[in-house]
Amino acid sequence: SKPAQHQRVEAPQHSKCAVYFPEFLIYSQSLQSTRSKTNYSQVIKELFSVIPGEERYRDAGPSRCRTCAVVGNSGNLLGSYYGPVIDNHDFVFRMNKAPVQGYEKDVGSRTTHRIMYPESATHLDNNTHLVLLPFKTLDIQWVTSALTDGSIKRTWFKVIDQLQANKDKVMVMHPAFMHYVHNAWLHIKSRRSYPSTGFLVLIFAMHICDEVNVFGFGANSKGTWHHYFEKTPKSFKRTGKHSGGIECETILELHKRRLIDLYTGW
């Protein structure tokens, strides 16, 4: 049987008789530079007037074996020749603007899901799922706008106002899931810290996939941290508001326990 961390995450239920502000919304509000005065329920209602509902992954069963590749952006992918291995998965998750063209032999050519937030958005083909990470209420409003009238042109800075993406393949990661990863997996007390995109996608994959293989995470064999697509690689170690050390330890432990397979490149 699956470990406890694979259990379904249920969103808190609202009482009809009292005003209730769920903990995950308090956490979500704490990530915003200014407290949102918008009506969250109305924002969600408008969102689901544009994108489909929640039937996308309701196909679990003993006969299913869904394989997933979580592809990060580490420079350790260069020279790895992982491309065919990555492409051989049922689902291939990529993050933000990480390019494929020109790097196919190392990173593969298929993308089934592209995970992004407004500031990291990129146009998609008709076959790729857009998975939005909403770090603030405005992010949810942005995806509704970007798929319709393009009225939102700035969030923290200028963003794509009209996004090329298939509306029927758009998903939004629930803030309750992000809060769950923050608390249950990283055990972080600070509300101003939040999981990295890569770590969120990895845990997301563990909840919807039967086999999870991870590529492009961490440093290369020389201990250098950089992105595979940088023309002039710039080494980085700072993880900002992400708990990079804890995330790295957790990923290594998951690999050790054979819950994921971690491909470390060269």
Binding site residues for substrate, as ranges? Answer: 32, 73, 96, 156, 194, 198, 218, 227, 242
Q: Which residues are annotated as a binding site?
A: 32, 73, 96, 156, 194, 198, 218, 227, 242
- Listing DSSP states for 96-115 in one string gives TT---TT-HHHH-S--SEEE
- Catalytic residue numbers read 194, 242
Question: Residue written as tokens 């937030």?
Answer: 117
Question: Could you give the CA distance from residue 63 to residue 167 in angstroms, rounded to a whole number?
Answer: 30
Contacts of 56 (CB under 8 A, 6+ apart): 171
| Rounded alpha-carbon distances, angstroms, from residue 218 to 11, 196, 225, 247, 251 | 32, 13, 7, 10, 10
Name residue 158's beta-bridge partners.
154
Query: Where do we find the tokens 């995470």?
Result: 217
CA distances from 52 to 94, 121, 167, 229 (A): 21, 20, 8, 33
> Are 89 and 65 in contact, with CB atoms under 8 Å apart?
no
Contacts of 105 (CB under 8 A, 6+ apart): 81, 83
